[in-house]
């Protein structure tokens, strides 16, 4: 019987449900009794149908769009797919969903997943850039827009947020994350989940979030993607797990496994991670999906002899859905028959998946995400483009600005734009750019060309060199152009595929001959700003030494050029602050602001003393610290005030500071608060971010910024692995970044 002949009936009781010919009817999701409906459905599913729900298949594409090959069509018709990824557009999703609804016995709807990492069709700045805005409202709103666009094209499941804490910029996937700080990443992860899922899962613009990659994928040895992760449980719990937990607490409905092992156990077979921690300790009740072919990879990891064993390990560990390896589909039935896995484990995995489908309302309306009108009207809207433009400006970080090189003076009449990233539409997208299209992107050249209509200057462009090639054949043309200009903009950095998955680098300096080009242009003595396009912190010591001004624009997405041009001409004032430390050289990596003091710290009074924890050929200090970022105006910090100097376990303490805008522009400052627990039962970091506030201050005015701390802000994992606070003295720093500001102290009795 085809599901389309009689799609839905209301089941009155379990006895009726089980009886006779009505076994292929599914209860609609009314009265929020989802689990009872799942349990009823499980009772009538065959083993093969259950296993089919655990299978996540990739769609195939050609240059003109999606193609539905016969193999996928047959697998869906046979009930051997619970979800599809890399499929979007209303027409395509409708056709695939019809196969599941009308051609299978039970008509269980498919989920449709996609990597909506920083936008769908409207592409926003890469997540690392977004984090530099320190603005949870902007981040949440960007993912709300992404959810609206993706769901308008049939997608209902996003493989995001990626919230892996990383302290190693050699690792290419830092571009997808929120930087090096645990607490800030936790706030960002929660905001992104809220943006995707909004307030009501049954709305047709709800995009289910998938927290990834569980766990500690951002800490591979040597920054090499997929490499081994080996750390103490204390480090794991203190620094790497909290962002995932914050996403779960924000309501994330799915979690993705990581490729790496932790302490010798690959994530995809790690029962402690997924059953004991994620479900039992944190109370997660959604479903877990692998990353691409991760179950199969248990074989080369060396913990499974063959695919069947790999599938058994994964299911027993609590992994519900198999992305692309087809191991569950091929082997679980036999493993079940042999007693290698239990029906209880299988039923639980299926239940976890079906529950999400009910919560989304797919059993009530499997085509709720297939609305042609939405597809025609809710994508690349004028409102979303304006928001994207503003987000680009908020994400830029001004790294250097000597002699007021920025903003560009209104008296400038000719600008030379030079560099391989000046007019590269594709690179503006950044990596993991979903359904974004290069033709929709505004390059820096295009943004400046549009801006010239307002400020009446002539813009000329020369590529100078390519990103990776060693040829200098285009240098002379670029140099001659720079000589004839009043002002020079150098657009340098990485191309977008130099960061992202499988894009680890041992040399994170400017690729190719870009530094040579910059040296020759800067030597001309013209007012020059370097605009960086990059997916990670770069080692740019030489560039910093020579360039008058440097603006890190990252990869800004669809509205890159317009947002950057707004910054360059002070139509927007830079306020971004770094969320990853920029090293001076790769030998300092891993480098992060919240390192430990060691037993032999560098001596302030004698920094060159040999027998301390330092290098003999370089300083310990980074090029740009965490939290760093300049503005066109100047902010002064003074009048530190504590409402008390001693607190008890039931108290709170308020720390306030006066911040004045003494410059010539209205501006926004991100005021940051850091704490140091001086003595503990275990060693503690030299500082930890415990608060920040993003405040707008008109020129000539001042504001009082206050932070309230309780003992909950002082907790850590003690010598016995209990999460608690300990009495003692705490130093604090309140200022514009992690190294500058006003210092003070208080005592917890």
Catalytically active residues, by annotation: 291
Q: Reduce the DSSP state of residue 634 to 3 states and report it.
A: coil
CB atoms within 10 A of CB 506: 10
Sheet containing 652-661: order of strands: 635-642, 652-661, 702-710
In degrees and rounded to multiples of 5, residue 452 shows phi and psi of -65, -20
Query: Is the torsion defined by CA of 38, 39, 44, 50 positive or negative?
Result: positive
Question: Under 8 Å CB-to-CB from 63, ≥6 apart: which residues?
Answer: none
Per-position b or e across 437-452, b if 16+ CB within 10 A of its CB: eeebbbbbbbbbbebe
- Please answer whether residues 745 and 730 qualify as being in contact, where contact means their C-beta atoms are separated by less than 8 angstroms: yes
Read off the DSSP letter of residue 319. Answer: -
Cα 401 to Cα 239, 397, 404, distances in angstroms: 33, 11, 6
Per-position b or e across 151-163, b if 16+ CB within 10 A of its CB: bbbbbbbbbbbbb
- Please answer whether residues 173 and 162 qualify as being in contact, where contact means their C-beta atoms are separated by less than 8 angstroms: yes
Outline where 179-267 has alpha helix (H): 182-197, 233-235, 242-249
- The β-bridge partners of 321 are 289
Outline where 200-342 has alpha helix (H): 233-235, 242-249, 271, 298-301, 307-317, 327-337
Residue 185: both structure tokens together: 């990443």
CB atoms within 10 A of CB 286: 23
- The β-bridge partners of 624 are 582
CA–CA distance, 235 with 118 (Å, rounded to integer): 29
CA–CA distance, 84 with 7 (Å, rounded to integer): 21
User: Nearest to residue 509, comparing CAs of 492, 490, 496, 524?
Assistant: 492
CA–CA distance, 489 with 527 (Å, rounded to integer): 9
DSSP track, 696-720:
EE-TT-EEEEEEEEEGGGG-EE-TT
Per-position b or e across 403-412, b if 16+ CB within 10 A of its CB: eebbbbbeeb
- Please answer whether residues 504 and 514 qualify as being in contact, where contact means their C-beta atoms are separated by less than 8 angstroms: no
Q: Reduce the DSSP state of residue 40 to 3 states and report it.
A: helix
User: Nearest to residue 460, comparing CAs of 416, 524, 423, 492?
Assistant: 416
In degrees and rounded to multiples of 5, residue 746 shows phi and psi of -150, 165
- Please answer whether residues 628 and 661 qualify as being in contact, where contact means their C-beta atoms are separated by less than 8 angstroms: no
CA–CA distance, 573 with 576 (Å, rounded to integer): 9
CA–CA distance, 377 with 89 (Å, rounded to integer): 13
In degrees and rounded to multiples of 5, residue 657 shows phi and psi of -145, 150
- Please answer whether residues 493 and 521 qualify as being in contact, where contact means their C-beta atoms are separated by less than 8 angstroms: no
Q: Reduce the DSSP state of residue 36 to 3 states and report it.
A: helix
């Amino acid at each position: 019987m085809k599901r389309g002949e009689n799609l839905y009936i209301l089941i009155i009781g379990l006895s009726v449900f089980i009886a006779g010919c009505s076994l292929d009817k599914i209860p609609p999701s009314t009265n929020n009794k989802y689990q009872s409906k799942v349990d009823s459905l499980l009772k009538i599913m065959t083993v093969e149908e259950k296993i089919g729900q655990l299978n996540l298949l990739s769609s195939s594409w050609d240059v003109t769009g999606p193609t539905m090959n016969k193999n996928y069509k047959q697998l869906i018709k046979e009930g051997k797919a619970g979800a599809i990824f890399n499929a979007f557009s209303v027409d395509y999703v409708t056709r695939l969903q019809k196969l599941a609804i009308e051609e299978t016995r039970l008509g269980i709807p498919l989920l449709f997943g996609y990597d909506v990492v920083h936008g769908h069709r409207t592409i926003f700045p890469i997540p690392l850039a977004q984090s530099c805005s320190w603005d949870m409202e902007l981040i949440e709103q960007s993912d709300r827009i992404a959810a609206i666009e993706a769901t308008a094209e049939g997608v209902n499941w996003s493989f995001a947020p990626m919230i892996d804490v990383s302290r190693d910029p050699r690792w290419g996937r830092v571009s997808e994350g929120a930087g090096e700080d645990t607490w800030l990443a936790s706030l960002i992860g929660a905001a992104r989940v809220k943006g995707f899922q909004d307030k009501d899962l049954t709305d047709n613009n709800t995009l289910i979030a998938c927290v990834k990659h569980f766990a500690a994928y951002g800490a591979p040895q040597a920054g090499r993607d997929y490499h081994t992760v080996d750390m103490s449980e204390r480090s794991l719990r203190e620094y790497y797990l909290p962002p995932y937990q914050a996403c779960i607490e924000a309501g994330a409905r799915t979690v993705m496994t990581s490729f790496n092992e932790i302490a010798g156990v690959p994530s995809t077979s790690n029962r402690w991670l997924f059953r004991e921690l994620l479900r039992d300790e944190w109370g997660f009740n959604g479903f877990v999906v692998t990353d691409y072919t991760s179950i199969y990879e248990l074989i080369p990891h060396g913990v499974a002899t063959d695919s069947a064993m790999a599938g058994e390990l994964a299911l027993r560990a609590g992994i519900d859905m198999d992305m692309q390896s087809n191991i569950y589909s091929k082997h679980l039935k036999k493993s079940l028959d042999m007693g290698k896995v239990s029906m209880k484990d299988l039923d639980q995995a299926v239940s976890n998946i079906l529950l999400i489908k009910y919560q989304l309302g797919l059993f009530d309306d499997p085509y709720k995400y297939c609305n042609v009108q939405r597809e025609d009207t809710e994508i690349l809207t004028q409102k979303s483009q304006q928001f994207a433009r503003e987000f680009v400006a908020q994400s830029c970080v001004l790294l250097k600005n000597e002699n007021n090189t920025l903003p560009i003076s209104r008296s400038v009449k000719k600008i030379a734009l030079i560099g391989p990233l000046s007019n590269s539409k594709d690179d503006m997208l950044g990596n993991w750019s979903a359904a974004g299209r290069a033709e929709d992107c505004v390059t820096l050249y295009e943004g400046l060309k549009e801006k010239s209509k307002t400020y009446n200057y002539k813009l000329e462009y020369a590529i100078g060199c390519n990103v990776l090639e060693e040829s200098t054949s285009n240098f002379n043309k670029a140099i001659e152009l720079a000589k004839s200009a009043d002002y020079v903009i150098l657009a340098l950095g990485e191309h977008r595929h130099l960061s992202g998955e499988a894009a680890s680098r041992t040399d994170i300096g400017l690729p190719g001959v870009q530094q040579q080009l910059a040296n020759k242009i800067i030597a001309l003595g013209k007012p020059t700003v370097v605009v960086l396009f990059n997916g990670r912190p770069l080692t740019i010591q030489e560039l910093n030494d020579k360039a008058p001004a440097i603006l890190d624009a990252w990869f800004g997405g669809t509205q890159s050029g317009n947002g950057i041009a707004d910054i360059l001409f002070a139509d927007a004032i830079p306020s971004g602050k770094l969320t990853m430390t920029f090293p001076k050289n790769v030998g300092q990596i891993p480098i992060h602001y919240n390192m430990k003091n060691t037993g032999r710290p560098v001596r302030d009074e004698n920094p060159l003393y040999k027998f301390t924890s330092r290098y003999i050929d370089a300083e310990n200090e980074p090029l740009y610290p965490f939290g760093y970022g300049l503005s066109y105006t100047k902010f002064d910090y003074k009048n530190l005030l504590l409402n008390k100097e001693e607190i008890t376990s039931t108290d709170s303490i308020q720390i306030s500071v006066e911040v004045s805008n003494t410059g010539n522009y209205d501006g926004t400052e991100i005021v940051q608060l850091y704490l140091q627990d001086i003595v503990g039962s275990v060693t503690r970091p030299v500082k930890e971010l415990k608060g920040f506030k993003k405040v707008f201050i008109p020129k000539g005015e001042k504001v009082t910024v206050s932070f309230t701390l309780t003992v909950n802000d002082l907790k850590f994992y003690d010598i016995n692995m209990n999460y608690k606070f300990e009495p003692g003295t705490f130093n604090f720093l309140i200022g514009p970044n992690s190294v500058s500001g006003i210092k003070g102290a208080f005592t917890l009795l």
